[in-house]
Copies of this chain bind each other. A is one copy, B any other.
Amino acid sequence: MAAKGTQKKQAQPPGLRELLRIPPGSDVDLASCDPAGAPAGPRNKKDGLADIARMGEHLADLQERLYAASAGGDRRRLLLVLQGMDTSGKGGVVKHVIGALNPAGCRIRSFKAPTEEERGQPFLWRITRALPKPGEIGIFDRSHYEDVLIARVRELAPRSVVDRRYAQINCFEQILADDGTTVVKIFLHISHEQQRRRLLKRLDNPHKHWKFNTGDIEERALWPAYQEAYELALERCSTRTAPWYVVPSDRKWYRNWAISTLLLEHLTALDPQYPEADFDVSACRRHLLEGD
């Protein structure tokens, strides 16, 4: 029986986290996940956009709390890892979802092909240097997963080296979690046909040509190998500590809705609190009122 003064929480539908998460240890078959699907949430674009706008305010509020909490010694932070094929919308998520947050509290890093200096270091070196600080939300547009994706498909490292990286990544992410980082890894799942449409659209618009790279077409030819490499990464690195989420991304509004929702669920679970004053508030008031 609920004690007087307490209230039972309203029964909540299962969160999107549960629906989109790759259960640790399970097999992954991307072909069976519909990139145009909508496993939960609004059924049309109009409702989706309205929901995204509403969540934006909520996200900004939680972000401020997280940032404020760090001033009181709370080491917690969040790292959003975005992975997906070209045109899957990693940049769009940064613009439309992260754009709702206070940029002062975001640490965004886009990982390209490693520089010569980076190649001279262990693969997690450049990642470590880009991690969010306490109170921040870090966003990785591509990440250390490239070292088991393009590195595997393009054989940029010996197979044995790539093969041992999965366990290294799990160990690395466990260390981050132990230090207070919530790691949210998102695979933006698009179809081969949707990529064709988006690449053609870039070609049709001269203002989008700068986003186009002839290398994109070569990578596209390796689509099956990439899907397989993603399946392996998702199978081997979806852990209890740092699970992978598969977000259907053929429809941009649904992708943005789902990622806003995942962010909101994780930040809500963190429940960051404004720190209490560690100084004498009334003495400060007096000082200010009595001074010049």
In this complex, how many residues of chain A approach chain B with their Cβ under 8 Å: the count is: 46
Interface residues of A in 202-218 (CB under 8 A from B): 203, 206-207, 209-212, 214, 217
Q: Are B284 and A217 in contact (CB under 8 A)?
A: yes
Q: Interface with B: A37-45, A159-167, A237-245, A274-282, which one?
A: A274-282
Q: How far is the CB of A94 from chain B (nearest CB, A)?
A: 5
Interface residues of A in 68-112 (CB under 8 A from B): 68-69, 71-72, 91, 94-95, 98-99, 101-104, 106, 108, 110
Q: Are B284 and A220 in contact (CB under 8 A)?
A: no
Q: A217-B284, A274-B206, A275-B210 are in contact. Are A192 and B104 (CB under 8 A)?
A: no
Interface status of A221 (Cβ within 8 A of chain B): yes
A44-80 CB mask vs B (1 if < 8 Å, else 0) is 0000000000000000000000001101100000000
Instruction: Tell me the complex Cα distance, A228–B285, Å.
Output: 26
Q: Are A209 and B274 in contact (CB under 8 A)?
A: yes
Interface status of A287 (Cβ within 8 A of chain B): yes
Q: How far is the CB of A60 from chain B (nearest CB, A)?
A: 9
Q: Are B279 and A210 in contact (CB under 8 A)?
A: no
Out of B98, B110, B203, B289, name the residue touching A200 (CB < 8 Å): B289
Interface status of A141 (Cβ within 8 A of chain B): yes
Interface status of A196 (Cβ within 8 A of chain B): yes
A251-292 CB mask vs B (1 if < 8 Å, else 0) is 000000000000000000000001111010100110111011
Q: How far is the CB of A223 from chain B (nearest CB, A)?
A: 8
Q: How far is the CB of A184 from chain B (nearest CB, A)?
A: 17
Indicate the member of A71, A95, A104, A209 with the most B CB atoms within 10 Å: A104
18 A-B residue pairs with Cβ-Cβ distance under 8 Å, sorted by A, are A68-B210, A71-B210, A71-B211, A94-B103, A99-B99, A103-B106, A103-B108, A104-B141, A199-B288, A200-B285, A200-B289, A203-B285, A206-B274, A212-B277, A212-B284, A214-B284, A217-B287, A221-B291
* New A-B pairs, 14, CB < 8 Å, besides A203-B281, A203-B284, A209-B277: A68-B207, A68-B211, A72-B210, A94-B102, A94-B104, A95-B104, A103-B108, A104-B108, A203-B285, A207-B274, A209-B275, A210-B274, A214-B284, A223-B292
Q: Which residues of A contact B (CB under 8 A)?
A: 68-69, 71-72, 91, 94-95, 98-99, 101-104, 106, 108, 110, 141, 192, 196, 199-200, 203, 206-207, 209-212, 214, 217, 220-221, 223, 274-277, 279, 281, 284-285, 287-289, 291-292
